[in-house]
Amino acid sequence: MRHSKKYIAVCVLSLLLCFSMTFTASRYFDNNTGAIRAVKPASGVMTGMFPEISAILAARAEAEAKAKAEAAAKASAILAEAAEKQKRPYYTVMKAGTAKYFTEDCLFINIFLTDSESSFDEDEKLAVREEVRKAAVYLEKKAADYGKQISITCDEDDLFLDYSTDLVIHTDPIEGEFDFDDEYDLYGLMSRISLLRKTEDIAAKYGAENVAYIINVNKFGRSYAIPRDFFINNTYLEGLGEFCIVFTSWNDTEGNESESTATVYAHEVLHLFGAVDLYNMEEENLTLAEEYFPDDIMLTMWDDINMCNIGELQAFLIGWIKETDEKYKALLDPSGILYQVS
């Protein structure tokens, strides 16, 4: 019997030792906080003896499942966006900047710019206002032809502002490039003009969804637009409005100096909403453009704006129709970066 009792005692001690080892394997002492932390046991046999560990493991599994679901949803969104960009790689100026869509309620803000070489008198300002008004009427009518109703606000007094600068605003009459000592001079000018009217405040006043700025310069030059894609990755320029700069006179296709009419204003504003030039391209594509869209306002700018049309390709790019013939897309820059917009 002595041997039997001794054997039993050894067995009991062995069981206690196993229990102690299991407990030790399930917890550890955190030197940083002084707390006892639970860890996953080496075997699942003893898990049922520690309900707090089971709860921790269940919470961990739930968190991991949630994280996986969120990651999957995010990945799906990224893939969907990538697929859309791949489908329409030229869709660079839509849904960006202040002129997001050429639909619903739109606002045109005009700046009469005085630089060290030029300024406007009151009669000249009235002439500009009239051409902008004609352009707005034309654009609303063309939208209606595509079954879109847009409302353009542009003729209110507080939408015409005066601004003076020491910079010389000019373009090369042949190449049409703007020329500044520092490229940020132009963007700094845009930033300061944006402060004249906080875009969100003026948009809210008129209930506008989309805002375009027109900088008027009273001199000869080739007008150009600065849509959002020009500085999409430049944090210095985030928050600026989308601008076009319109000179009061320019060279027509025959080299004759002409006054800027409503056609020029409509052409430049359309750039801000996604339209692209059809004349500034390789000869092969130019031939196609002339065949497909001979009277398109982005190809030929007649003095009489009512002689100009907005073709199916431009209607697609500015959001008036959802799809267009694939053959027209050959006219577009496949990289989606439209550096020359004029």
Q: What CATH code is carried by the domain that includes residue 317?
A: 3.40.390
124 has a pLDDT exceeding 80:
yes
Q: Is the pLDDT assigned to residue 208 strictly greater than 50?
A: yes
Q: What is the mean pLDDT of residues 49-66?
A: 79
Residue 198 is assigned to a structural domain of this protein: yes
Whole-number Å distance between alpha carbons of 99 and 111: 17
- When the pLDDT of each residue in the chain is averaged and rounded to a whole number, the result is 75
When divided into structural domains, the chain yields a total of 1
Nearest Cα neighbor of 313 from 302, 300, 303, 327 is: 327
Other Cβ atoms closer than 10 A to 222: 18
50 within some domain = no
Quickly state the pLDDT bin for 23 (edges 50, 70, 90).
very low
Q: Select from 124, 199, 109, 212 the least CA-distant residue to 159.
A: 109
Domain that holds residue 168: 104-331
The answer to the question of residue 81 being in a domain is no
71, 106, 194, 211, 233 from 207: Cα distances, Å: 37, 9, 18, 11, 29
Most confident of 28-37, 81-90, 183-192, 290-299: 290-299
In a domain, 32, yes or no: no
Residue at token pair 């692209």:
276
Answer whether residue 254 is part of any domain: yes
Region 314-336: mean pLDDT is 79
Report DSSP state, residue 142: H
Using CA atoms, how far apart are residues 134 and 304, in angstroms rounded to an integer?
A: 10
Q: Is the pLDDT of residue 42 over 60?
A: no
Q: Region 85-107: what's the mean pLDDT?
A: 63
8 A C-beta contact, residue 192 and residue 60: no
- Given a cut of 60, whether residue 130 has pLDDT beyond it is yes
The answer to whether residue 23 sits within a structural domain is no
Instruction: Identify which has the larger pLDDT, 250 or 14.
Output: 250
Answer whether 118's CB lies under 8 Å from 219's CB.
yes
pLDDT of residue 312: 93
Residue 269: pLDDT above 50? yes
Q: Which residues contact 92 (CB under 8 A, 6 or more apart)?
A: 229, 232, 336, 337, 338
Q: Is residue 159 part of a domain?
A: yes
Considering only residues 1 and 289, tell me which one the structure prediction assigns the higher pLDDT.
Answer: 289
For the segment 302-323, the average pLDDT, to the nearest whole number, is 91
Nearest to 260 by CA among 218, 306, 202, 291: 218
Of residues 32 and 223, more confidently modeled: 223
* Predicted pLDDT of residue 126: 96
Instruction: Give the highest mean pLDDT range of 48-62, 115-129, 328-342.
Output: 115-129
Residue 82 within a domain: no
pLDDT at 122: 96
> What does the chain come to in residues?
342
Q: Strand, helix or coil at 37?
A: strand
Question: Quick check: 85 pLDDT over 80?
Answer: no
